[in-house]
C-alpha cells in the first residue's frame, strides 16, 4: 500500500514537470483591437430614420417586381448553394462537439495462437493447469467480448473553444445567406428597372423612325420639286437606317435583360411580365439613411465579418492550447477465455482496465508553432477585413446618397432639354417646308431630340437603381 502511494506521487510529480516544461515557452497571441468607429453622419445629414427597417415588400410597390423577387428567393441556385453551406457549418458543430464526450464501442474477437514449446510463454503454458489433470490446450484459442471507452478531459478548454468557433462560423454562414438575400433582391430589382428602361428606349426609337420616315417622304417630294438635291434624300435615308439598326440593338439588349432576370429566378427563358407604360413618371422609393453606426447592426456582410473575426480569435486560443499537455482516460470491461464454455465463468473470465495518460509536446514543436503563427495571422486578416467592410459600407452609402441628389437635379434639367428639343422638331420641319431652314438643321434637331429622350430614360433608370443600391447598401432586404 505504501509502494502504491509512492508510485502515485511520482506520477503526479512527473505530470507536474511535463506541464511546467511544455508551458514555459508558450508564445502569446497578438492582442489588437479592431476599429469600429464611423463618422457621425452621411454627407452632413442628421437624419436618424432607417429605410432598412422596411421589408422589401414594403419598399418595392410594383406587383410584377414583387412576384419576380418572390420567385428568385424560392428558386435561385446561388441561394440554394449558400443554404448548403449552412448545413455544412451545422455538421462542423456536431463534429467539434463529439470529442467533448467519451467515445464508446464494443468489440468481439476470436483467434488462435501456437507458440513454440521452448519459449518462455510456451513453457509457462505447458506447466499451467486449468483444472486438476488438465493443461492449457495447444494451439491456444482466444475469445474476447467487451466494451471500451476513451475520453480526453478538456482541462485547457481546447475542445470547448473549438466547438464555440464552429458555432460562430455557423452564425457567419447565416449572415452570409442574409447578405446574399440583400444582393439578390437588389439585383432582381435593378435588372427589372433596366428592362423597363430598354422598353421605353425602344418605344422612343420606333416613334423616331416613324417621324424620320415622314421627313424622308417630305424630302423626296421637295427633291422632285428641285428644292433639294439627292444628297438630302440620302442623308435622311441614312438617318432612318441608323435608327432601324438601333432598334435591333435594343431588341437584343431586351432579350439579354429578360434572360438575366430568368437566370436570377432559376428558370429557363420566358417572357417577363411588366408594365411598360409611364416609366418616366415612376418615382424612386424614398430612402432614409439613418446614421453610419447603424450599419454595424444592419449590414449582413459586416455582421459576417465580425463573426469571422470572433471565430479567428477562438482559433488562436485553440492553437495556443496545443502547447499544453493533454490528459486522457481509457477503460475497458469484458470477458475473455480460450474456450466458449468458459466465457461466462466469473470472475475467472472477467477482464477490465482503467488507464490515464498525460501527453505533451517536448521536442519538435515547430509544427504547433507554425499553426499558432498562422492562426494569429488569420486573426489579424479577419480584423482588417472587418474594418474594410465597415469602411466600404460607409463609402457605398455616401456615394449613392450623393448620386441620388445629383441625379434628381440632372433629371429636371434633362426633362427641360427634351421639351425644348421636341418643340424644335416641329419648328425645324415648318421652317424646312418654307425653305427657311436646310435639311441638315432638321436632321440635327431630330438626332439631338432622340439622344436627349434616350438620356432622359437612362437618367430615370439610374435614379431608380440608385434608390435600390442605397436600400441594399444600408442592409435592407433580408
> What pLDDT score does 29 carry?
73
Residue 375 reports pLDDT greater than 90: yes
- The CATH architecture to which 106-153+326-359 belongs is Single Sheet (2.20)
- Domain 30-100+156-325+363-473: assigned CATH number: 1.20.1600.10
Residue 102 reports pLDDT greater than 90: no
Residue 132 reports pLDDT greater than 70: no
> What pLDDT score does 4 carry?
42
> What pLDDT score does 5 carry?
43
Confidence of residue 313 (pLDDT cuts 50, 70, 90): very high
Across 223-245, average pLDDT: 91
Closest CA to 142 of 431, 295, 349, 308: 349
> What pLDDT score does 45 carry?
64
- At 152-204, the pLDDT tens digits run 888 889 999 999 999 999 999 999 999 999 999 999 999 999 999 999 999 99
> What pLDDT score does 1 carry?
41
> What pLDDT score does 472 carry?
93
Q: Where in the chain is the domain with CATH 1.20.1600.10?
A: 30-100+156-325+363-473
Task: Give percent above pLDDT 90 in the chain.
Answer: 52
Q: Where in the chain is the domain with CATH 2.20.200.10?
A: 106-153+326-359
Q: Give yes or no for a contact between 65 and 192, defined as CB atoms under 8 angstroms apart.
A: yes
Across 114-131, average pLDDT: 72
Q: Look over the chain and give the mean of its residue pLDDT values, rounded to a whole number.
A: 87
Amino acid at each position: 500500500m505504501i509502494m502504491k502511494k509512492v508510485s502515485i506521487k511520482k506520477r503526479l510529480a512527473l505530470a507536474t514537470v511535463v506541464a511546467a516544461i511544455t508551458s514555459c515557452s508558450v508564445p502569446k497571441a497578438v492582442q489588437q483591437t479592431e476599429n469600429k468607429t464611423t463618422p457621425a453622419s452621411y454627407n452632413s445629414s442628421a437624419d436618424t430614420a432607417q429605410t432598412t427597417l422596411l421589408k422589401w415588400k414594403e419598399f418595392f410597390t410594383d406587383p410584377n417586381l414583387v412576384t419576380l423577387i418572390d420567385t428568385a428567393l424560392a428558386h435561385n441556385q446561388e441561394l440554394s448553394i449558400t443554404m448548403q453551406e449552412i448545413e455544412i457549418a451545422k455538421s462542423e458543430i456536431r463534429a467539434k462537439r463529439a470529442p467533448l464526450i467519451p467515445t464508446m464501442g464494443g468489440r468481439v474477437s476470436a483467434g488462435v495462437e501456437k507458440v513454440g514449446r521452448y519459449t518462455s510463454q510456451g513453457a509457462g503454458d505447458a506447466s499451467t493447469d486449468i483444472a486438476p489433470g488438465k493443461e492449457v490446450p495447444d494451439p491456444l484459442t482466444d475469445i474476447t467480448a467487451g466494451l471500451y471507452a476513451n475520453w480526453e478531459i478538456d482541462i485547457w478548454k481546447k475542445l470547448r473553444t473549438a466547438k464555440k468557433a464552429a458555432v460562430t462560423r455557423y452564425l457567419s454562414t447565416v449572415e452570409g445567406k442574409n447578405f446574399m438575400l440583400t444582393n439578390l433582391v437588389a439585383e432582381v430589382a435593378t435588372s427589372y428597372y433596366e428592362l423597363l428602361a430598354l422598353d421605353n428606349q425602344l418605344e422612343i426609337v420606333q416613334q423616331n423612325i416613324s417621324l424620320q420616315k415622314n421627313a424622308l417622304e417630305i424630302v423626296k417630294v421637295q427633291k422632285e420639286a428641285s428644292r433639294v438635291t439627292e444628297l438630302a434624300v440620302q442623308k435622311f435615308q441614312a438617318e432612318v437606317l441608323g435608327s432601324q439598326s438601333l432598334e435591333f440593338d435594343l431588341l437584343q439588349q431586351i432579350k439579354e435583360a429578360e434572360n438575366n432576370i430568368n437566370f436570377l429566378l432559376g428558370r429557363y427563358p420566358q417572357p417577363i411580365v411588366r408594365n411598360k407604360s409611364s416609366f418616366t413618371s415612376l418615382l424612386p422609393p424614398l430612402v432614409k439613411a439613418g446614421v453610419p453606426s447603424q450599419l454595424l447592426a444592419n449590414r449582413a456582410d459586416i455582421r459576417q465579418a465580425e463573426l469571422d473575426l470572433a471565430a479567428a480569435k477562438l482559433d488562436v486560443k485553440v492553437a495556443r492550447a496545443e502547447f499544453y499537455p493533454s490528459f486522457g482516460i481509457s477503460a475497458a470491461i469484458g470477458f475473455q477465455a480460450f474456450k466458449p464454455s468458459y466465457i461466462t465463468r466469473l470472475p475467472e473470465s472477467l477482464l477490465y482496465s482503467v488507464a490515464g495518460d498525460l501527453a505533451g509536446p517536448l521536442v519538435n514543436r515547430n509544427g504547433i508553432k507554425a499553426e499558432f503563427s498562422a492562426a494569429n495571422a488569420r486573426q489579424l486578416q479577419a480584423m482588417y477585413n472587418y474594418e474594410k467592410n465597415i469602411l466600404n459600407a460607409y463609402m457605398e452609402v455616401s456615394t449613392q446618397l450623393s448620386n441620388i441628389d445629383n441625379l434628381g437635379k440632372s433629371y429636371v434639367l434633362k426633362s427641360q432639354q427634351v421639351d425644348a428639343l421636341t418643340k424644335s422638331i416641329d419648328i425645324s420641319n415648318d421652317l424646312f417646308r418654307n425653305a427657311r431652314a436646310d435639311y441638315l438643321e432638321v436632321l440635327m434637331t431630330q438626332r439631338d431630340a432622340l439622344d436627349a429622350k434616350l438620356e432622359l430614360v437612362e437618367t430615370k433608370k439610374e435614379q431608380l437603381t440608385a434608390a435600390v443600391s442605397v436600400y441594399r447598401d444600408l442592409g435592407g432586404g433580408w
